[in-house]
Structure 1
Amino acid sequence: MLFAHDTECGLVAAAALVNTAGPGREGLPDVAALDRFFTAYGWSGRHEHTDAELRQVRALRPRLRRIWDADADEVVEIVNALLRESHALPQLIRHDDEPYHLHAVPRDAPLATRMAVEAAMAMADLVRSGELTRLRHCDHPDCDDVLVDLSKNRSRRFCDGGCGNRAAVSAYRARRAASHS
């Protein structure tokens, strides 16, 4: 583990949330999809299961996506704004059989607020440790997803959407075509 568990979870969830939106794609089309996302990324606390909550979560995505394209100073501006707007007050918390970790807003705060603060706190750890280069865009030419490279050797190039497999298949086919010509 490169970072604290809650930092890694926050980074992965932020990238996954960003990747639910893209050109011609809506990964959170309805409340049921948000429910699945909530469960898949281990969110706890308040979850209203409403269209209003869904709209708030969707509205967070462009702000988080900007982080992947920003320099360190702009990342700090985004992170500080998210924390300030959410009235974040970091505290050590233990729940659901998890060890102590940081929560900066109450568990009954709106889901979009908790998502914003969790992402901001995780990004703050990246800034403080000089690790913003771990925030990347997928290398596949047909993909605009983002990723967090948590590998020790900083070698991750593709998102979780199967792009690594597609690239390997394309390279294999190109090698086969070249050897048969």
Structure 2
Amino acid sequence: MLFAHDTECSLIAAAALVNTDGTDGEGLPDVAALDAFFVAHSYSGRHEHTEAELESVRELRPRLRRIWHADTDEIVRIVNGLLREHNALPQLITHDDEPYHIHAVPRDAPLATRMAVEAAMAIADLVRSGELSRLRTCERPGCDDVLVDLSKNRSRRFCDASCGNRAAVSAYRARKAAAAQR
């Protein structure tokens, strides 16, 4: 583990949230999809299951996406803005048999607020440790999804296995075509 467990979970969830607004269409088309996202990324606390909550989560995505394409100073402005806007006050807490970790807004804060602050706190850890290079975009041509490279050797290149497989197949076909032309 490179970072604290809650930091890694928040980074992964932030990237996944950004990727729900991708070239493949709307990844959060309805409240049921948000419910599934909530469970998949182990969010706790308040969850209203409403269209208004869904819309507020969707509105967060462009701000988070900018983090993957910004320089350090702009990332710091985004992170500080999110923390200030949501009145973040970091505190150590434990719940649901989890060890102590940091929450910076109450568990009854709106879901989009908790998502924003958790992402901001995790990105702040990357900034503090000089690890912003772990925020990347998928290297497969045509894919604009983002990823967090948490590998020890910083070798992750694709957002998921399917993009890695597609890139491998494309490279294989290119090699075969080049060999056939010789």
TM-score (structure 2 length as normaliser): 0.96
Q: What RMSD over aligned residues (CA atoms) do the two structures have, in Å?
A: 1.1
For residues 81-139 of structure 1, give each alpha carbon's deviation from its aligned partner in whole angstroms, at most 9, with x where no partner exists.
10011110101111111111000001110000000000000000000000101100100
SS of residue matched to 1:136: strand
Moved over 4 A (4+): none
Structure 1: which 5+ residue stretches go unaligned? none
How far has the Cα of 1:25 moved from its partner?
1.2
SS of residue matched to 1:162: helix
1:7-22 superposed matches below 5 A: 7-22=7-22
C-alpha separation in 1, matches of 2:11 and 2:161: 17
How far has the Cα of 1:171 moved from its partner?
1.4
Q: Report the AA paired with residue 86 of structure 1.
A: H
Is the 2:47–2:110 Cα contact (8 Å) retained in structure 1? Answer: yes
What residue number does 1:36 align with? 36
Cα 1:32–1:147 shift into 2, 3 Å: same
TM-score (structure 1 length as normaliser): 0.97
How far has the Cα of 1:161 moved from its partner?
6.2
1:54-69 superposed matches below 5 A: 54-69=54-69
C-alpha separation in 1, matches of 2:162 and 2:88: 36
Structure 2: which 5+ residue stretches go unaligned? none
1:64-143 superposed matches below 5 A: 64-143=64-143
C-alpha separation in 2, matches of 1:160 and 1:137: 11
User: How many corresponding residue pairs?
Assistant: 181
C-alpha separation in 1, matches of 2:161 and 2:52: 28
